[in-house]
Amino acid sequence: MVYNNKLVASIKVGGKILREHDKDHIYLPFGSQYSIFFKNLQHRKVSIRVRIDGEDVLDHHTLILGPKQTTELQRFIINGNFNTGPAFKFIEKTQQISEHRGDKIDDGIIEIDYRFEVEPPLFKSIVPITEYHYHHHEPEPLKQWNQYTYSSNTGDSPSRGMDGSEVRSADITGQSIHGSVSESNITMDSLSSDEGITVKGQEVNQQFNYGNIGTLETQIYTICLKLHGTNEAGTVVQKPLLVQSKPTCQVCGTKNDSRSKYCSHCGNNLTW
């Protein structure tokens, strides 16, 4: 799982989470249908935008995830159809595909942009402090009250947009995203060559509904995942490497811990 600024994102194949290499590189067989798993670790809602191979797969909407909530995005949204659509399918980019479709710098890249709701106002309780002063010539005590006012960390109402207009957003909502973008993990070197792309797979009946979200922060965070169908040596991936899988060293045959990057016996790099 890739964790960044209170959001977890990972790729699932056959209902099982795949392991990442070097934080953001994922290896899976060509022809695999996959989904994207999200977990919001914040105490606020988050608005998520997803692009695969440079295409907005949510049809210019955003996915809303509640506090501490998880969800699994299984398909494209096409022409605003919230009831059914094609699954994500990873295939080899053959020469014929390249000649007809062309090559894009973001082929094989899953880009996830997200931002959270603005923190709600913080209110301090108003507590009266009573002091009694007794004087020998006054039978009744005098009362003095010290009051404390509340403070808040924002002047915007969570139910309104940045321009003051009312926001009607949803589990899938069409808000545009503005603001600064955090740095991506994927370098330009890794973007320049790729052997696989995502196409439309089998029909999936995943449904979406409209919902609500408050004012969003201007800060945008980004998670990038790079899909591979072959390893560095050019060998085609035969089966996806799961988080629970214990990698067997090809040099000495030792079975290693699922989190190990190097063989515990001979030191061989297990990610290739």
What does the pLDDT profile of the chain (272 residues) look like in tens digits?
A: 688 889 999 999 999 999 887 778 999 999 999 999 999 999 999 999 999 999 999 999 999 999 999 999 999 999 999 999 999 999 999 999 999 999 999 999 999 999 999 987 776 666 676 665 555 555 554 444 343 333 333 334 333 343 444 433 445 443 333 333 444 444 434 443 458 999 999 999 999 999 899 999 999 999 999 999 987 777 888 877 665 555 677 788 887 666 677 888 888 887 65
User: Which of these, 226, 168, 223, 203, lies nearest to 77 by C-alpha position?
Assistant: 203
Q: Are residues 86 and 15 in the same domain?
A: yes
Is residue 238 one of the residues assigned to a domain?
no
Is residue 86 one of the residues assigned to a domain?
yes
CA 142/CA 256 separation, integer angstroms: 77
User: Which of these, 221, 237, 262, lies nearest to 18 by C-alpha position?
Assistant: 237
Domain carrying residue 256: 246-272
Is residue 251 one of the residues assigned to a domain?
yes
User: How many domains does the structure of the chain reveal?
Assistant: 2
Over the range 37-73, which residues count as b (16 or more CB within 10 Å of their CB) and which as e?
bbbbebebbbbbbbbbbeeebbbebbbbbbeeeebeb
Q: How far is CA 207 from the centre of its chain?
A: 19
CA 24/CA 1 separation, integer angstroms: 9
Q: Are residues 109 and 169 in the same domain?
A: yes
Is residue 240 one of the residues assigned to a domain?
no
DSSP sequence for 172-226: EE-----S-BPPPS--HHHHS--SEEEEEEEEE----------PBPS-BEEEEEE
Is residue 91 one of the residues assigned to a domain?
yes
Is residue 23 one of the residues assigned to a domain?
yes
Is residue 211 one of the residues assigned to a domain?
yes
Q: Are residues 112 and 220 in the same domain?
A: yes
Which SS3 state, helix, strand or coil, does residue 247 take? coil
Q: Are residues 176 and 259 in the same domain?
A: no
Q: Are residues 18 and 110 in the same domain?
A: yes
User: Which of these, 41, 43, 9, lies nearest to 24 by C-alpha position?
Assistant: 9
CA 251/CA 254 separation, integer angstroms: 8
6: left (phi over 0), alpha (psi -120 to 50) or beta: left
Is residue 233 one of the residues assigned to a domain?
no
